[in-house]
Structure 1
Amino acid sequence: VSPLPSSPRGVGAMEIVAMDMKVSGMYIARQLSFTGVTFRIEEIPLDQQYKIVYNKAAKLWAEALMVFQQAADWIGLESRKSLWGQFWSAHQRFFKYLCIAAKVRRLVELAKEELAKDKCIVIGLQSTGEARTREVLDENDGHLNCFVSAAEGVFLSLIQKHFPSTKRKREKGTGIKRKRKQRGRCPKALKGVCDPVGVIKISDDSSTDSDMGLDSDFNSSPESVFETDDVIFVEHTYNGFAAEDRGSFHLLPSQKEMHSLRELEHVEKMKQDLLAKVKALGKELPLNTLDELINHFGGPEHVAEMTGRKGRVVCRPDGSVMFESRAEQGLSIDHESHSPFPLVFSLPQLVAIISEASSSGISLQADRRVKNQKRRVHMTLELPWSADRAIQQFGRTHRSNQVSAPEYVFLISELAGERRFASIVAKRLESLGALTHGDRRATESRDLSKYNFENKYGAKALDRVLSTILNHTENRVPVPKGYDRGEAAFFHEMKQGLISVGICCNQMKYGTVAVEKDCSITKFLNRILGLEVDKQNMLFQYFSDTFDYLIEKDKKEGKYDMGILDLAPGVDEIYEESKEVFLTPGHPQDGQVVFYKISVDRGLKWEEAYEKSLKLTGSFDGFYLSYKTRGCKHTCLLAEQSRGKNFILYKPNIGKQSQPESLDSLQKKYRRVLPEEAKEHWESSYHFSLKKCNHAVWNRSCKLIQEGKECFQGMRLRHYYMLCGALLRVWSKIASIMADITNTSYLQIVRLKTKEKKKQVGIKIPESCVRKVLEELKQMDENVKRKHNQ
């Protein structure tokens, strides 16, 4: 296979390579057909009570960020990388739990609707929240009398284990392992050199990766301390310099010792106050999702749980709550999770919950060999971090020998930050589809692709958004329409929000606000989870609008890689007018490419337009006629409301218009009419535009046609030229020809299905390049034939 050009082509290159290898018979990517499988995304609105709790949590995390920073400053903590790693990891997990909890009520409603339709439910999760349940169980000596909140546990654990008051200020040069012998534990050391106020006890669950050795000039402590406790030493500083930087050692004045003690007491008080606030919030936080789901569906006897956890919290018939071991229920966890046909979907168990632990190997499809053959509805409550795991989990309900294909339902809340979880899976699924099918849309990403922001446009959009908010640089994207307090207020509010989640930070030295280094799309989407709901959604909307604007700009300039583009989606009138076959050189064998001329009738017949109009329900939907006439003719169209106040327009000569129209623009140029009045104008335009351009309609003649050139503007019948076959062998030469003529070497891959039901996938050749491309292909063909004849 000839090498691809050196410029990175991303997913598009994967498609081309996979297609070429399949054409050459070198590559087979077997995958179960998705025929009969349905996909849908349920976007779930948040109720007002949930928003209140979420906003409280966001404010408390913003406060926790400030408290952690202050505490680290008070004790002079120098190396803070580990601290902030733990903080933001907990931050992400906390809000992930809240995102999942927001969808539980709606999931239960949907599941009950599907059960009423005589179907079975599979609910996909990744985490079980067992760790927090175990912690509470240990704290209460093995007893539990209530359901546990996993989100609260994450927050409490962060403060208890990683608050700066229990971390040793690391020395300079941290990260280089000291080879010298540890000192400071010698019982013969001089007494009185270090007072016990410089010692803090470490709780059993604290963790520190700094060693306990002290420098020779500050190397002792009372023996009793060393004999009885694990300790941590806080090095006192004068004017920012540690003891070892001050030269000769001298005893600390007692008032300094007292000041140091007060500092430590103050930091400890900050910690306890923060813990108290988290515990108060914990009373309102949602409970463990898995336990809550099982409880909603009637308890363990009605739900088949296939997870790796060893125990669960259940509600007894008398209303009391207790912890029970799953191993006591008759089957071992390993047996239940890994048997080929587990004992699920046997009445009354029509609901199964699977986690990452049971996402491979297990068969939950409507198999012909099992008694229960009801259609499976696979609901994904929590998307996994990688596409591989997503495919594995989806594959549990879609396998060979099934009676019916499953339905997939992706539950995504209206929280903007949750797009992060869909984004990473969408990106990976695109790559997977490109490699296995030669089409990035061949996998489930056709439903998730709108959530994929991890590409060059996402990075550009983020850079522009942050620059606009912080530096007030010009951005042509207006603030979201739902925000009514003006542009200046929007940018000020968003700046404060970005500071509260650590994306931006105040630079005291310069009195400015700067963006945190290495702020990627992933980090941005992770962090904005910590903003209040409305603020989060507004910021994400502004980012999303900027993202769409950049893509639209590149599309207009012809720079956008749209992958395999449907040449005429929804149009059946496609005719193959001619084709020419050319041989291409290759190793180990020669290949061939086929040059097609395709005719596409884009027009929309009156009967189809009228039938479509009958299904429209919007107050502004229907037929419209232009106020102005051109060439004594009114322009007629059919308008269908899409999102917000934008309308999709259908015209008799070109069918569906690619650009949506706003309601204001529509009403300025057109008036709404009844179908009876529109019919004559529609049919007239449809018939006249078959082989005549708009200029001929408006002016009765076209200057380009009179000059002997071609004009296709507004014409129903369009000609396209496609090159199919072993594309990689001719790729660089075709790209070179196009670069000379059109100033761009980008080749658009297109797909279509002709009226004769033939499917074609290939490169679209612009009309201006057809002559040169054919000359090159003929020359290549002659060279191959000459080589064969020798």
Structure 2
Amino acid sequence: LLVMAGDDDEELNSAAEVYSCFRHIELLPGAKPHPGNVVESDCLATVDLPPAVFPLADSLPSEAVTEGRLSSLQLQGVLYACQRHRTLLPGGERAGFFIGDAAGVGKGRQIAAIILDSLARGRPRHLWLSVSPDLAQDARRDLLAIGCHARVIDGCRQLDRSATAFGLAKDCREGVLFNTYACLVSGGSGASRKTRLEQLIDWCSGDSAPAKFDGCLVLDECHRAKHFLPDAKEAANSKVAAAVIELQQRLPLARVVYCSATGVSELKNLAYMTRLGLWGPSRPFASFQDFRGLLERRGLAAAEMLAAELKATGVYVARGLSFRDAEFAIVDAPLTTGDIALYDSAAALWRRIHSSLLRACSLCRVRSPGQHLRSYWSAHQRFFLQLCLSLRVPAVLAEAKRALDIGLCPVLGLQSTGEAGLHASADLQSPSGFVSVCRHVCRQFLLSHFPAVSTLTGQPETWSSGERQRLLDELEACELPAGGLDLLIDGLGGPDDVAEMTGRRSRIIRCKGRGGFRLESRYAESGDAQSVNASERQRFMAGQKLAAVISDAASTGISLHADPGCANTRRRVHVTAELPWSAEKAVQQLGRTHRSGQSSGPVYRLVCLDLAGERRFCSGVAKRLQTLGALTKADRRAALVGDLGHLNCDTGRGRAALRRLYQYTAAGRLLRGVSLPEVFDGEVSTEQEGVRRLQACLLEMDIFERLAEPSGKCRLRDGETGSVNRFLNRLLGLPVAEQACLFRYFLAACGLEPAPGFGPADAASPSSPLAASATADDDCLAELRADSIRLVSPPAEAFQQSCLPAGLLSRQVTAVTLEITRRLRRRQPHQSQQRTPQRTVTERLTLLCGSVLPLLPALEACLAANWAALRGLPASRRRLRFLRARVDADSEADPDAAGGSRRFVGLRFPAALLRAAEAELGRRRLLAQQAEAASGPTAASAAAGAAKEEAVAPVDERLKRRATTAPPTIRSFFAPAAAAPSPSPSPVHAAAASKRKSCGAAAAAPSPAKQARISDLFAARQPDESVCPNCDKQLPASVRPRDHWAVCLVVGASGPAGAEPKQEKLDRDAA
């Protein structure tokens, strides 16, 4: 048994140990494997889904399964979603399902199949929410791909256009209403002035109450509904998240489908998924706050346990495309001498702005200077982010041009466009060049947040007003680069050669031939950003443009991969010019060029400047990718694509190292074991000189503050807790040489060696499974203040005299700091030295696996009640902790698993309390039963009871045929008669012809298309039924069904017998 750390696992295993190949299971007869290398996280692969009992084959067209339109992977998601929707939660709401497949797997077709199943079972209205109106075309494509011809209504605007005095038009009353999250929170329009949310609920309800709506509520790209905390203020919550939660409350029986590759990047972003049944009435967790608090205390391993448990209960699936065919590399972008001089001058400008801001706040008597400082640091971060993007442009262009030269297609990914700076520019009519986004950010801060008016008199303060103008003049004189997006497009040939998929409305382009620049609107041809981006994507996929630039506005939903069905099948080179802070956006953007059915895998290039502060962006995203992998893939390593894993500095080791760095620097000493030449590159010769240089850097970063002038000492500011993010954010504002010096010192404090691309080398070799999985516990150092410890004797004598059972080693380091090395067990330190290196230490662990999360409150109560019984155990064994474990297979005990291993996540629980835990669980069940019996058989108690299973609705063949049959168009009436052989007359046609002949009418034969339809209807239904399949009329008892069928199907609406049928006339005129 190999047990891995549960909270701060620093080592990352190789991809082979993180993922397992997805196993093809033929759930429906004739199902085909998925076209692509699909993998599943190792922890999720060891968990089996519950038995599949839903009759999905009754509602889907057989050709959609046998022809591979829906692969076995997609059928699995559809089947378990439909099966989950049969469950009613204890509160009365219908349970939801979470499709967490990675980008490119085919979530759209799974959604389409779920909707088709509901259409065939008599549910005519469905609501599909996504992030962009442009994705409505993708929704239609996915529905048609599986043979579903349901009408897709293009948002609330189409509902407005189809509204009449008598209600909605007939063609808009049923179908799939596709809407966006932005529209969900917008106000109403028209005479009724209903909000869009009310309009959507009214459409879903139809003629019934909203509580009876049982169609599908698809929350596509549901990560847009994050940022909601039930106990937070309304202003702190996202409006989209509040609207999504209200929509689920107003439609309690809706079949909710959460669909996103990045649905949860942090546990707090799970609040909108109320239909998963994790909290609520008759659940172990009464509220989301209780659920979140318990899991956050358990670390990332608890999140991994949550994902595995959701799959085991049939609530969640998460598969992803393998990156085996993709390539990853971090491209080092060196800084030239000019770049360094430019960066240092910008850093000096911001240092002057900071000092002037503090003085201006004092002179203007600002009541809350902290708000101005927060605005300063926010603008400071945006400025240097844009500056770094502009400095990366030469390296990004070099990678893109190299790709074009060897026959590949570059796709450049960034987040921001800098359009705000463009519209703030004064010379839009005759621009002299591209706009500098950096200059706009700084100017906007000085004009909006630099105080220049006294709060006491309301009059301009002389020095502050003059200083602001001096800073603005200095900013204008500073040579700052243009915006990165404009430089990238211009460097690759301009808009004629580059497909731009962004959200900006206008841009400055270079005039070819006559020189100069001009302002151009991107909406000149189509009128909106969605249509422009769609047309640009089509040109790129058709090979008319061989380079593409995408921003955050186009990083969700679209496909830019090497599609064999398109003309442009060149291999994609995805160059990340700007890595987003959000883990969801990072995964979404990287997934645009990696999709199912691609002819070749992409080449990923992450461009990083040779700048220490650049590590800030990579570190933040790498950390959130780890959390994202734990919550959505049951393994924190699963979301770390390529080489991003080692870029994370915000770990337990990093935070402890930063705290030590602060304490030692404030005390005027360097950390032990730090080499002066290694950190300061030979620029300092004494330790005191090096400490003074470090203190100066931390003072400029506003992390340290200087004490009284006579002492000249520094101390850590109040409120500084050793945040790695804040340290790396403010590191960007230092000159290049100072950044490198301080960051090397930080890496030395972490015990890491800087590697190319600013990534510390892996401590464990990937080729050794044991070394790559095992984790050493470095949390044995604790720093204590000198004023809380009194040294009574030399360290060695103090240890001999104290005879403490914990075995503490204490040795004096400085006059103000002591390091305490604490053993985890009550063993003497020399016992570990007596062990030989070959000896193995074994211990027995009790892990509770399976559905453990619902039992956590009872297990914690049992542990608290029996704490005294565990007094003899080490403290680490008395805590509940989630562990990831690997059990190596034994060929003798398990011949089928020989040579392999099993991986799972479990909760460590003291074996001595197992019986007590069983008794506590039994006691709680008994109390629940007694409470339910005491409340009586009321409606409230019935609603709060256990979850219930609904019966499966039968498939209506007529509705299924309607959903899978293309609606007639004008072309349907002009089909050439010779296109299909004439079928033999059906019994209905023969009866109609005989009736006509007896009436003296001309027995004109119907068209081949009409005869084929008659044959199909006659084969599907008996002619003796009292309902006509053509007009759906209930026939009276005096009319023979066979006679009505003959007239209705053959003569149709042509009028009295003897007249030429309309279809024959149309066919003859067309011929």
Q: TM-score range by the shorter chain?
A: 0.5 to 0.7
> Which of 6, 31, 38 lines up with 2:327 in the alignment?
38
Give 1:351 shift. Answer: 1.1
Change in Cα spacing, 1:333 to 1:26, as seen in structure 2 (3 Å) is: closer
Q: Please say if 1:713 is aligned against 2:833.
A: no
Which residue identity does 1:301 align to in structure 2? D
Moved more, 426-435 or 495-504: 495-504
C-alpha contact 1:340 1:361 (8 A) present in aligned 2: no
> Which of 396, 408, 433 lines up with 1:146 in the alignment?
433
**CA deviation digits over 1:672-729, x for unaligned, max 9?**
xxxxxxxxxxxxxxxxxxxxxxxxxxxxxxxxxxxxxx987359x9999999993665
Partner of 2:742: 539
> Which of 695, 698, 701 lines up with 1:498 in the alignment?
698
Give 1:288 shift. Answer: 1.0
Change in Cα spacing, 1:358 to 1:751, as seen in structure 2 (3 Å) is: same
**CA deviation digits over 1:716-745, x for unaligned, max 9?**
x99999999936659989x99999677633
Name the SS for the 2:300 alignment partner.
helix
Q: Please say if 1:726 is aligned against 2:830.
A: no
C-alpha contact 1:477 1:549 (8 A) present in aligned 2: no
The CA distance in 2 between the partners of 1:313 and 1:7, in whole Å, is 48
Change in Cα spacing, 1:30 to 1:445, as seen in structure 2 (3 Å) is: closer
Which residue identity does 1:162 align to in structure 2? H
Partner of 1:13: 302
Give 1:460 shift. Answer: 2.5
C-alpha contact 2:576 2:607 (8 A) present in aligned 1: yes
Change in Cα spacing, 1:335 to 1:513, as seen in structure 2 (3 Å) is: same
Change in Cα spacing, 1:450 to 1:570, as seen in structure 2 (3 Å) is: closer
C-alpha contact 1:722 1:763 (8 A) present in aligned 2: no
Name the SS for the 1:39 alignment partner.
strand
C-alpha contact 1:365 1:398 (8 A) present in aligned 2: yes
Partner of 1:744: 876
Change in Cα spacing, 1:353 to 1:757, as seen in structure 2 (3 Å) is: farther
Q: Please say if 1:324 is aligned against 2:520.
A: yes
Q: Please say if 1:233 is aligned against 2:357.
A: no
Change in Cα spacing, 1:510 to 1:750, as seen in structure 2 (3 Å) is: farther
Equivalent positions of 1:253-292 (< 5 A) are: 264-281=461-478, 283=479, 285-292=480-487
Name the SS for the 1:328 alignment partner.
coil
Equivalent positions of 1:24-35 (< 5 A) are: 27-35=316-324
Equivalent positions of 1:623-662 (< 5 A) are: none
Partner of 1:85: 374
**CA deviation digits over 1:465-507, x for unaligned, max 9?**
2222223267335156041203222221122222223222335
Name the SS for the 1:299 alignment partner.
coil
Change in Cα spacing, 1:373 to 1:502, as seen in structure 2 (3 Å) is: same
| Percent identity (aligned) | 31
Partner of 2:560: 364
Q: Please say if 1:385 is aligned against 2:581.
A: yes
The CA distance in 2 between the partners of 1:444 and 1:279, in whole Å, is 42
Name the SS for the 1:305 alignment partner.
strand
Equivalent positions of 1:510-589 (< 5 A) are: 513-519=714-720, 520-548=723-751, 569-570=766-767
Partner of 1:488: 688
Q: Please say if 1:376 is aligned against 2:499.
A: no
Paired residues, number: 538
The CA distance in 2 between the partners of 1:103 and 1:450, in whole Å, is 21
**CA deviation digits over 1:736-775, x for unaligned, max 9?**
9999677633675344887955342147999xx9xx9899
C-alpha contact 2:847 2:906 (8 A) present in aligned 1: no
C-alpha contact 1:127 1:355 (8 A) present in aligned 2: yes
Equivalent positions of 1:453-492 (< 5 A) are: 453-472=649-668, 475-478=671-674, 481-483=678-680, 484=682, 485=684, 486-492=686-692
RMSD between aligned residues: 4.3
Moved more, 458-467 or 118-127: 458-467
Give 1:44 shift. Answer: 2.5
The CA distance in 1 between the partners of 2:836 and 2:642, in whole Å, is 32
**CA deviation digits over 1:220-257, x for unaligned, max 9?**
xxxxxxxxxxxx436xxxxxxxxxxxxxxxxxxxxxxx
Change in Cα spacing, 1:306 to 1:19, as seen in structure 2 (3 Å) is: same
Change in Cα spacing, 1:421 to 1:327, as seen in structure 2 (3 Å) is: same
Which residue identity does 1:274 align to in structure 2? L
The CA distance in 1 between the partners of 2:842 and 2:708, in whole Å, is 64
Partner of 2:548: 352
Change in Cα spacing, 1:117 to 1:517, as seen in structure 2 (3 Å) is: farther
C-alpha contact 2:500 2:536 (8 A) present in aligned 1: no
Gaps of 5+ in 2: 1-277, 279-283, 286-290, 754-762, 778-833, 890-896, 923-1071
Change in Cα spacing, 1:22 to 1:545, as seen in structure 2 (3 Å) is: farther
Give 1:53 shift. Answer: 0.9
C-alpha contact 2:847 2:907 (8 A) present in aligned 1: no
Name the SS for the 2:644 alignment partner.
helix
Give 1:55 shift. Answer: 0.9
C-alpha contact 1:724 1:761 (8 A) present in aligned 2: no
Change in Cα spacing, 1:299 to 1:751, as seen in structure 2 (3 Å) is: farther
C-alpha contact 1:423 1:451 (8 A) present in aligned 2: yes
Name the SS for the 2:548 alignment partner.
strand
Q: Which has the higher strand share?
A: 1
The CA distance in 2 between the partners of 1:405 and 1:131, in whole Å, is 36
Change in Cα spacing, 1:658 to 1:375, as seen in structure 2 (3 Å) is: farther
Change in Cα spacing, 1:73 to 1:26, as seen in structure 2 (3 Å) is: closer
C-alpha contact 1:150 1:288 (8 A) present in aligned 2: yes
C-alpha contact 1:721 1:765 (8 A) present in aligned 2: no
TM-score, length-scaled by structure 2: 0.45
Give 1:340 shift. Answer: 11
Which residue identity does 2:837 align to in structure 1? Q
Change in Cα spacing, 1:569 to 1:455, as seen in structure 2 (3 Å) is: closer
The CA distance in 2 between the partners of 1:571 and 1:515, in whole Å, is 42
Name the SS for the 2:549 alignment partner.
strand
Partner of 1:163: 450
C-alpha contact 2:411 2:548 (8 A) present in aligned 1: yes
TM-score, length-scaled by structure 1: 0.60
Change in Cα spacing, 1:287 to 1:340, as seen in structure 2 (3 Å) is: closer
**CA deviation digits over 1:342-392, x for unaligned, max 9?**
322444521111111111122212223211122222111111121111122
The CA distance in 1 between the partners of 2:886 and 2:327, in whole Å, is 22
Name the SS for the 1:365 alignment partner.
coil
Name the SS for the 1:409 alignment partner.
strand
> Which of 740, 743, 758 lines up with 2:900 in the alignment?
758
Change in Cα spacing, 1:54 to 1:140, as seen in structure 2 (3 Å) is: same
The CA distance in 2 between the partners of 1:151 and 1:304, in whole Å, is 25
**CA deviation digits over 1:501-532, x for unaligned, max 9?**
32223356996534344433222211111000
Partner of 2:493: 298
Which residue identity does 1:536 align to in structure 2? Q
> Which of 587, 599, 602 lines up with 1:403 in the alignment?
599
Give 1:23 shift. Answer: 4.9
Q: Please say if 1:128 is aligned against 2:417.
A: yes
C-alpha contact 1:724 1:762 (8 A) present in aligned 2: no
Change in Cα spacing, 1:739 to 1:396, as seen in structure 2 (3 Å) is: farther
> Which of 53, 60, 66 lines up with 2:355 in the alignment?
66
Equivalent positions of 1:609-620 (< 5 A) are: none
C-alpha contact 1:58 1:532 (8 A) present in aligned 2: yes
Partner of 2:1047: none
**CA deviation digits over 1:633-655, x for unaligned, max 9?**
xxxxxxxxxxxxxxxxxxxxx9x
Which residue identity does 1:152 align to in structure 2? R
Change in Cα spacing, 1:368 to 1:712, as seen in structure 2 (3 Å) is: farther
Change in Cα spacing, 1:711 to 1:377, as seen in structure 2 (3 Å) is: same
Structure 1 residue ranges (4+ consecutive) displaced by more than 6 angstroms after TM superposition: 1-7, 656-659, 717-725, 730-733, 735-742, 752-755, 763-766, 772-777
The CA distance in 2 between the partners of 1:293 and 1:721, in whole Å, is 59
Which residue identity does 1:744 align to in structure 2? S
Name the SS for the 2:570 alignment partner.
coil
Change in Cα spacing, 1:41 to 1:760, as seen in structure 2 (3 Å) is: farther
